[in-house]
């Protein structure tokens, strides 16, 4: 059978066999003529509307599985060959007679002349029908049918056909929600950058929550992007935790999560402090905590109610711990921004979302909020405050800011599943609200995660579109099956086998689920911050980095109008002797072991560890959190490890520090 | 007695007998098998073949090996009566790589295309034994497959035919009544002669166009070939001829000390026990060759070939004796490959006896690769593939098309369509080019 094109430019590639239905059929495929994911078509006659005659239609289908089998090479033969260590070709067995059997999912039917009107097939496919590979133009018409006038965001091409572009519907992308789910290395960031680039091209306002600095490098591509989108702005922000008007709740939550928790009387007392000393909107949390702290110190001095003194002290001590951690994180963030990895990039402080929201959300501007250096609790808090504030400006319909799309990388940090056992993230209710009401107000979300099963299921299932790339973890696969109603079994089975950038896109952004190969924008590779040459860096190590020293960090703090040299905790150290009665945490052990050491090189080292592998990154991130004083329980929950691992991490970090010190 | 699978086979052979009769049947079988084994071991009538894939495949490397499978095909939508005869060929060169390694062919003809009815004219007047016509067509087309392989420039070193090498042919002669020819066995058509005979054969006339003569020429051509031609039969039949031939061939001297009775008495008793036509409750309950040698032979053992004449002169009509007398007498052996399969029956020409051992070793190693396939090349696979392959054509559409061609009175078109439709799924699997 010659593989010839007919007059419509299509080519016969096989014939339907076996029992065919209205949703699926199987055909025998000629060798080398199609791949899984390919779109095929066949001609069919169906009864017309009045059952008086026949109408000719095209049936469109997607190949979901191709099985190759050689009926002349049964299992026993394979076993005998294997046992004996002989090659098939050396025997009389045949290997030329294998058959390809392709299973197809029927997408629908169209009239012969108009592929835009895809309707469900209601009459079964006829066995023995020839199956065709349609010309690219026909497939393109099918993919965009009825959406010709929508703004499109090209994402890549069909896996099986590089000549058929797959573009997302940009309006549906920005007003609804898209989840990009894949294991590390699956190509999430590459795909997200591709989409972001298209949206930049249309001048759509974007906010990117970027915990790992995957996007900050876009700023290096500014000139390139400006050629496509004249005047576009890429701005890098680093955050500060700011207070909302009724921000006491937030502080209470943070205190609860960063310490061992507050007792009921302690919480009551803290609330009374909030009432007595309200926060100013947009006031840095560190400054507010210091004011609170002073207020409590004064109260302690003035108070003669000896029963309440321990409660007041405990609250003060907790605030001290929180303050300590916030300062330390601010310093880590600063150090990271100055590291060889990010140094030189034009970071600016995040404009106050309460007072200057239009500096964050603005047509033609991408705002990348780099959250590196902050622990998850704080990242969540910053995200919650920023997102909620901006959302309110949309929801109150004042027209203060334009509609915008928020990209949330590492979404499992911000919307962890309740099963994760972490205390509820403060960002969770905010994201939930945005995802349910966002459509009304033009605040779309793009959620990106490498651990789907750690995501809040109800939130993710409200995403109207999905881009699923490679996922191997069975729990993640189960999760994806649960949240994506229209995922077929055969598609689900493909997910672990995808290569980088290959996946399934489905939902409102496309007409029907497609197997896609995401286009890798080579010219955005400069944005790949993580792929620096660590060997070169290691070679020049002895000469010393240009990272900030703690002194510099303190200097930064001082610039911000605080005396970071002396924390509030230290200031009232004498009154807080009971602080030390708690069992020693991993964090304490680590800090004690490193007491008096210069930690800059260690932190630089941890940062390089981030880029080495997923495991190394986890460990480095964990140690970073411990350095910031995170509790054992928090770190274990965040990283999904046993407390025993923390001991290992502490040992590893202390040893690394020893080695670094010895090398100097 | 032996392993459970043999017990199962024995039960199958005797399952419908009464309980005491069953017991006797099994006892008889066990006793006979044990005795025959002793006799054969004593006389060197059993050879052993060691399993050694590496050595065997090395020894045949670079030599083409052909497999031929002939049979009948039907039109599934018209029922199970065969309308066509077909033969498929598979030639493979172990050790070769690339496209030249494997070659295939399929030859398929409607049965009535193979016979010339011109003289008779109307079909109703044709030869009454339709079954004989079909069988003759099947046998001739099967042999034609082998002829075709061996006629090639560089033909194979072995050709394995699925089925007997030499069949009983006495059926395929004129229908007689009261010493008179009632109906002549039809001549083969020109198409058939061209298909069946070696190339460049002189034209044939009269009797020369009949099955007996044509098939004899086929067998002679196969016998003259350099290659070893070997029939492989996996199907059980009621035959006891190999057992008889073994007994006939056993020298008396070595048997004298083995059994209490004299060799002649033992052989007679043995013959009667194998085919106990006289006894009531065991009437017709033969101990077939297949069953007997399954019990006699251990895996890896083969019976040294014995001559089995399928076309005894004395049964042939006087007028046919010149032809029948020239039919070769094949040498028949049984090969036990694994203990769970029935033994394979191998048939060869006597001139190839010198290559019996290597040929048997080759068959055994083929069969080891495909233990669940009877014919050692796996060509019978088409009979085993799941049913989903069948009826790829819509029966209604096919019937409609056939009616249309009939209405157009175009017999050639009608034949072509029938051929196309029959046994489609087999073709489909055996013609690798189809979907490439
Ligand atoms: N669409 C693609 N085409 C080709 N290679 C890709 C593609 N997407 C990702 N990759 C490769 O995989 C690597 C990891 O991609 P990335 O997007 O960073 O993964 P993730 O964010 O899922 O961890 C990239 O550096 C690139 O080499
Ligand atoms: Mg990534």
Q: Give B148-199 pLDDT, tens digit per residue.
A: 999 988 889 999 999 999 999 998 988 777 777 778 888 999 989 999 999 9
pLDDT(A421) > 70: no
Ligand nearest to the CA of A613: 1
- On whether the CB atoms of residues A663 and A542 are closer than 8 A, the answer is yes
- On whether the CB atoms of residues B182 and B250 are closer than 8 A, the answer is no
Instruction: Return d(Cα A508, Cα A502) in angstroms, integer.
Output: 19
Q: Which of A124-128, A643-647, B189-193 has the highest mean pLDDT?
A: B189-193
Instruction: Return d(Cα B163, Cα B241) in angstroms, integer.
Output: 16
CB contact under 8 A, B57 and A19: no
Best of B76, B378, B401 to disrupt the A interface by mutation (most A CBs within 10 Å)? B378
Terminal alpha carbon distance of chain A:
73
- Would you tell me which residues 124-183 of chain A have a C-beta closer than 8 angstroms to some C-beta of chain B? 126-128
Instruction: Return d(Cα B287, Cα B271) in angstroms, integer.
Output: 10
Which ligand 1 atom is at minimum distance from the Cα of A183? 22
> A-chain residues within 8 Å CB-CB of B59?
none
| pLDDT attached to residue B279 | 58
Q: Which residue of B has its CA nearest to A84?
A: B53
pLDDT(A423) > 80: no
A600-610 and A643-663 helices cross at what angle (nearest 10)?
Answer: 120
Ligand nearest to the CA of A191: 1
Which residues have C-beta atoms less than 6 Å from ligand 1? A 182, 184-190, 500-501, 518, 520
Q: Is A81 on the interface with B (CB under 8 A)?
A: yes
* Percent of chain B clearing pLDDT 90 (strictly above): 43
Average pLDDT of A219-236? Answer: 90
Instruction: Return d(Cα B269, Cα B274) in angstroms, integer.
Output: 9
Instruction: Return d(Cα A449, Cα A183) in angstroms, integer.
Output: 8
Q: Is A2 on the interface with B (CB under 8 A)?
A: no
HSE, CB side, 13 Å, CA atoms: give it for residue A273.
Answer: 30
pLDDT(A566) > 70: no
CATH 3.30.2170 is the classification of domain B53-238+298-382: yes
Query: Confidence band (pLDDT; 50, 70, 90) for A34?
Result: confident
B356-369 and A75-84 helices cross at what angle (nearest 10)?
Answer: 120
Burial class (CB in 10 A: 0-12, 13-18, 19+), A120: exposed
> A-chain residues within 8 Å CB-CB of B92?
92-94
Length in residues, chain B: 436
Average pLDDT of B309-327? Answer: 88
B392 Cα to chain A: minimum distance (Å): 5
Q: What are phi and psi of A421, to 5 degrees?
A: 75, 0
| pLDDT attached to residue B148 | 93
Instruction: Return d(Cα A166, Cα A519) in angstroms, integer.
Output: 10
pLDDT(A565) > 60: no
Q: From ligand 2's centre to the CA of A213, what distance in Å?
A: 9
Instruction: Return d(Cα B400, Cα B406) in angstroms, integer.
Output: 10
Q: From ligand 1's centre to the CA of A222, what distance in Å?
A: 21
Encode pLDDT of B111-147 as tens digits.
888 888 765 544 445 677 888 999 999 999 999 999 9
> B-chain residues within 8 Å CB-CB of A19?
388
Query: Confidence band (pLDDT; 50, 70, 90) for B238?
Result: confident
Q: Is A13 on the interface with B (CB under 8 A)?
A: no
Query: Mapped to the 3 state alphabet, what secondary structure does A46-110 carry?
Result: EECCCCCCEEEEEEEEEEEEEEEECCCCCHHHHHHHHHHCCCHHHCCCCCCCCEEEEEEEEEEEE
Please tell me which of the candidates B58, B366, B429 has its beta carbon nearest to residue A92. Answer: B366
Query: Could you give the 3-state DSSP secondary structure of residue A362?
Result: coil
- ipTM of this complex: 0.80
Q: CA A276 → CA A279, A295, A299, distances in Å? A: 10, 9, 11
- On whether the CB atoms of residues A60 and A158 are closer than 8 A, the answer is no
| pLDDT attached to residue A127 | 76
CB contact under 8 A, B389 and A17: yes
Instruction: Return d(Cα B365, Cα A584) in angstroms, integer.
Output: 72
Please tell me which of the candidates B61, B371, B377 has its beta carbon nearest to residue A90. Answer: B61
Query: Confidence band (pLDDT; 50, 70, 90) for A578?
Result: very low
Instruction: Return d(Cα A332, Cα A239) in angstroms, integer.
Output: 12
Question: What is the dihedral angle through the alpha carbons of A504, A510, A511, A513, rounded to the nearest 10 degrees?
Answer: 10
Q: Is A355 on the interface with B (CB under 8 A)?
A: no
According to CATH, the topology of domain A170-239+365-522 is: Rossmann fold (3.40.50)
| pLDDT attached to residue B402 | 67
Count the neighbouring beta carbons within 10 Å of the beta carbon of residue A618.
Answer: 18
| pLDDT attached to residue A376 | 85
CB contact under 8 A, A93 and B378: yes
| pLDDT attached to residue A579 | 31
Instruction: Return d(Cα A645, Cα A615) in angstroms, integer.
Output: 12
Q: Is B376 on the interface with A (CB under 8 A)?
A: yes
| pLDDT attached to residue A216 | 87
- On whether the CB atoms of residues A30 and A13 are closer than 8 A, the answer is yes
CB contact under 8 A, B392 and A128: yes
Q: Which residue of B has its CA nearest to A94?
A: B102
Average pLDDT of A286-291? Answer: 88
Q: What are phi and psi of A131, to 5 degrees?
A: -110, 135
CB contact under 8 A, B94 and A84: no
Best of A91, A100, A103 to disrupt the B interface by mutation (most B CBs within 10 Å)? A91
Question: How does the average pLDDT of chain B come out, rounded?
Answer: 82
Domains of chain A, by residue range, sit at 11-149, 170-239+365-522
| pLDDT attached to residue A584 | 66
> B-chain residues within 8 Å CB-CB of A93?
92, 369-370, 378
| pLDDT attached to residue B6 | 65
Instruction: Return d(Cα A91, Cα A94) in angstroms, integer.
Output: 8
- On whether the CB atoms of residues A108 and A513 are closer than 8 A, the answer is no
HSE, CB side, 13 Å, CA atoms: give it for residue A638.
Answer: 27
Q: What are phi and psi of A101, to 5 degrees?
A: -120, 115
* Percent of chain A clearing pLDDT 90 (strictly above): 27
Query: Confidence band (pLDDT; 50, 70, 90) for A516?
Result: very high
Q: Which of A117-126, A598-607, B339-348 has the lowest mean pLDDT?
A: A598-607
Q: CA B347 → CA B113, B166, B292, distances in Å? A: 30, 8, 18
| Eight-state DSSP code of residue A544 | -
> A-chain residues within 8 Å CB-CB of B65?
92
> B-chain residues within 8 Å CB-CB of A73?
378
B389 Cα to chain A: minimum distance (Å): 6
Q: From ligand 2's centre to the CA of A394, what distance in Å?
A: 29
Q: Which of A172-186, A190-204, A237-251 has the lowest mean pLDDT?
A: A237-251
Average pLDDT of B355-360? Answer: 96
Count the neighbouring beta carbons within 10 Å of the beta carbon of residue A497.
Answer: 10
Q: Where are the beta strands (DSSP E) in B170-249?
A: 175-177, 180-183, 187-188, 228-233
| Eight-state DSSP code of residue B206 | G
Instruction: Return d(Cα A567, Cα A557) in angstroms, integer.
Output: 11
CB contact under 8 A, B67 and A92: yes
Q: Nearest to residue B106, comparing CAs of B123, B122, B88? A: B88
Query: Confidence band (pLDDT; 50, 70, 90) for A328?
Result: confident
Encode pLDDT of B326-350 as tens digits.
999 999 999 999 888 889 999 999 9
A40 Cα to chain B: minimum distance (Å): 17
- On whether the CB atoms of residues B371 and B337 are closer than 8 A, the answer is yes
Please tell me which of the candidates B65, B97, B436 has its beta carbon nearest to residue A31. Answer: B436
Best of B100, B102, B369 to disrupt the A interface by mutation (most A CBs within 10 Å)? B369
CA A240 to chain centre: 22
Question: How does the average pLDDT of chain A come out, rounded?
Answer: 82
Q: Is B393 on the interface with A (CB under 8 A)?
A: yes
Q: From ligand 2's centre to the CA of A502, what distance in Å?
A: 15
Q: Is B369 on the interface with A (CB under 8 A)?
A: yes
Query: Confidence band (pLDDT; 50, 70, 90) for B278?
Result: low
- A448-474 as b/e, with b when 16 or more CB fall inside 10 Å? bbbbbbbbbbebbebbbbbbbbbbeee
CB contact under 8 A, A74 and B378: yes
Average pLDDT of A41-57? Answer: 86
pLDDT(B4) > 80: no
> B-chain residues within 8 Å CB-CB of A31?
435-436
Q: From ligand 1's centre to the CA of A524, what distance in Å?
A: 12
B92 Cα to chain A: minimum distance (Å): 6
CA B126 to chain centre: 27
* E strand or H helix that includes residue A433: helix A427-441
Instruction: Return d(Cα B227, Cα B221) in angstroms, integer.
Output: 11
Query: Could you give the 3-state DSSP secondary structure of residue A413?
Result: helix
Domains of chain B, by residue range, sit at 9-41+242-279, 53-238+298-382, 391-430
- On whether the CB atoms of residues A188 and A180 are closer than 8 A, the answer is yes
- Would you tell me which residues 88-107 of chain A have a C-beta closer than 8 angstroms to some C-beta of chain B? 89-97, 99-100
pLDDT(B21) > 50: yes
Q: CA B309 → CA A387, B168, B220, B327, distances in Å? A: 97, 9, 16, 9
Query: Confidence band (pLDDT; 50, 70, 90) for A543?
Result: very low
Pocket probe mutation, ligand 1, options A190, A213, A610, max atoms within 8 Å of Cβ: A190
Q: Whose CA is nearest to atom 7 of ligand 1?
A: A501
């Amino acid at each position: 059978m010659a593989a010839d094109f007919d007059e419509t430019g299509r080519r016969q590639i096989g014939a339907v066999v076996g029992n065919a239905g209205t949703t699926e059929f199987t055909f025998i495929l000629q060798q080398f003529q199609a791949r899984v994911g390919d779109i095929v078509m066949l001609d069919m006659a169906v009864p017309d509307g009045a059952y008086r005659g026949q109408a000719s239609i095209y049936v469109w289908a997607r190949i979901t599985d191709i099985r190759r089998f050689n009926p002349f090479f049964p299992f026993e033969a394979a076993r005998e060959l294997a046992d004996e260590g002989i090659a098939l070709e050396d025997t009389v067995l045949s290997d030329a007679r294998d058959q390809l059997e392709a299973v197809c999912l029927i997408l629908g039917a169209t009239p012969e002349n108009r592929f835009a009107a895809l309707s469900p097939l209601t009459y079964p496919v006829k066995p023995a029908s020839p199956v065709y590979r349609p010309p690219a133009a026909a497939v393109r018409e099918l993919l965009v049918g009825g959406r010709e006038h929508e703004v499109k965001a090209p994402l890549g091409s069909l896996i099986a056909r590089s000549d058929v572009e797959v573009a997302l519907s940009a309006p549906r992308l920005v007003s609804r929600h898209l989840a990009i789910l894949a294991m590390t290395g699956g190509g999430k960031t590459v795909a997200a950058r591709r989409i972001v680039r298209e949206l930049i091209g249309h001048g759509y306002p974007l906010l990117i929550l970027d915990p790992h600095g995957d996007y900050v490098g876009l700023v290096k591509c500014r000139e390139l992007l400006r050629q496509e989108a004249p005047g576009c702005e890429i701005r890098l922000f680093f955050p500060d935790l700011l207070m909302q008007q009724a921000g006491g709740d937030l502080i209470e939550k943070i205190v609860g999560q960063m310490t061992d928790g507050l007792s009921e009387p302690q919480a009551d007392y803290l609330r009374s402090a909030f009432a007595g000393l309200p926060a100013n909107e947009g006031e840095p949390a560190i400054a507010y905590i210091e004011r609170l702290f002073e207020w409590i110190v004064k109260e302690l001095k003035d108070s003669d109610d000896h029963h309440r003194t321990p409660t007041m002290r405990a609250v003060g001590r907790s605030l001290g711990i929180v303050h300590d951690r916030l300062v330390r994180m601010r310093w880590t963030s600063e150090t990271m921004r100055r590291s060889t990895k990010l140094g030189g990039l034009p970071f600016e402080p995040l404009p106050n979302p309460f007072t200057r929201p239009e500096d964050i959300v603005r047509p033609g501007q991408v705002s990348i909020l780099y959250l590196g250096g902050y622990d998850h609790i704080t990242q969540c808090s910053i995200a919650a405050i920023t997102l909620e504030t901006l959302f309110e400006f949309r929801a109150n319909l004042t027209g203060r800011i334009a509609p915008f799309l928020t990209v949330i990388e590492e979404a499992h940090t911000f919307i962890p599943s309740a099963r994760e056992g972490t205390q509820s993230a403060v960002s969770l209710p905010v994201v939930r609200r945005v995802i349910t009401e966002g459509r009304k107000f033009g605040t779309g979300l793009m959620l990106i995660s490498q651990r789907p099963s750690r995501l809040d299921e109800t939130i993710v299932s409200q995403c109207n579109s999905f881009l699923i790339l490679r996922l191997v973890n069975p729990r993640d696969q189960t999760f994806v099956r649960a949240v994506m109603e229209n995922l077929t079994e055969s598609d689900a089975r493909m997910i672990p086998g995808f290569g980088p950038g290959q996946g399934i896109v489905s939902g409102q952004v496309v007409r029907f689920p497609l197997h896609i190969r995401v286009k890798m924008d080579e010219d955005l590779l400069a944005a790949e911050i993580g792929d620096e040459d660590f060997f070169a860096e290691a070679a020049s190590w002895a000469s010393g980095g240009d990272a900030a020293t703690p002194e510099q960090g303190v200097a930064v703090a001082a610039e911000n109008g605080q005396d970071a040299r002396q924390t509030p905790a230290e200031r009232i150290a004498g009154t807080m002797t009971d602080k030390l009665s708690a069992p020693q945490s991993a964090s304490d052990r680590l800090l004690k072991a490193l007491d008096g050491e210069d930690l800059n090189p260690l932190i630089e080292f941890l940062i390089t560890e981030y880029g080495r592998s997923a495991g190394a990154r986890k460990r480095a991130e964990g140690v970073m959190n411990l350095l910031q004083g995170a509790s054992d329980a928090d770190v274990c929950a965040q990283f999904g490890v046993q407390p025993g691992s923390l001991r290992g991490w502490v040992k590893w970090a202390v040893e690394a520090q020893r080695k670094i010190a010895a090398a100097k | 007695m032996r392993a459970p699978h043999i017990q199962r086979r024995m039960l199958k052979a005797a399952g419908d007998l009464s309980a005491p009769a069953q017991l006797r049947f099994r006892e008889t079988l066990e006793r006979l098998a044990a005795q025959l084994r002793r006799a054969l071991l004593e006389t060197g009538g059993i050879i052993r073949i060691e399993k050694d894939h590496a050595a065997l495949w090395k020894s045949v490397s670079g030599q083409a090996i052909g497999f031929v499978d002939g049979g009948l095909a039907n039109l599934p939508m018209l029922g199970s009566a065969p309308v066509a005869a077909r033969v498929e060929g598979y030639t493979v060169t172990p050790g070769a790589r690339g496209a030249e390694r494997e070659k295939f062919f399929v030859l398929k003809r409607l049965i009535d295309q193979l016979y010339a009815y011109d003289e008779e004219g109307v079909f109703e007047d044709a030869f009454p034994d339709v079954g004989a016509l079909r069988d003759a067509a099947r046998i001739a087309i099967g042999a034609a497959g082998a002829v075709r392989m061996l006629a090639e420039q560089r033909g194979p070193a072995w050709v394995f035919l699925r089925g007997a090498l030499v069949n009983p042919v006495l059926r395929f002669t004129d229908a007689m009544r009261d010493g008179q020819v009632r109906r002549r066995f039809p001549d083969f058509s020109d198409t058939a002669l061209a298909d069946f005979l070696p190339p460049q054969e002189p034209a044939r006339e009269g009797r020369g166009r009949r099955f007996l003569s044509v098939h004899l020429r086929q067998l002679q051509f196969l016998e003259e070939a350099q290659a070893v031609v070997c029939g492989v039969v996996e199907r059980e039949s009621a035959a006891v001829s190999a057992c008889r031939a073994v007994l006939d061939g056993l020298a008396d001297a070595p048997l004298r000390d083995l059994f209490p009775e004299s060799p002649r008495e033992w052989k007679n008793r043995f013959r009667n026990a194998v085919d106990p036509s006289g006894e009531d409750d065991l009437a017709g309950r033969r101990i077939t060759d297949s069953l007997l040698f399954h019990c006699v032979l251990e895996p890896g053992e083969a019976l040294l070939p014995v001559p089995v004449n399928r076309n005894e002169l004395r049964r042939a009509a006087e007028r046919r004796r010149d032809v029948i007398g020239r039919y070769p007498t094949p040498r028949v052996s049984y090969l036990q490959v694994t203990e769970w399969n029935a033994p394979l029956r191998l048939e060869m020409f006597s001139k190839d006896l010198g290559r019996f051992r290597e040929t048997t070793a080759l068959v055994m190693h083929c069969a080891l690769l495909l233990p669940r396939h009877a014919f050692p090349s796996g060509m019978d696979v088409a009979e085993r593939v799941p049913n989903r392959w069948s009826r790829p054509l819509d029966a209604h559409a096919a019937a409609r098309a056939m009616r249309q061609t009939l209405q157009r009175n175009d017999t050639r078109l009608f034949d072509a369509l029938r051929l196309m439709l029959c046994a489609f799924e087999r073709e489909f699997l055996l013609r690798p080019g189809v979907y490439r």
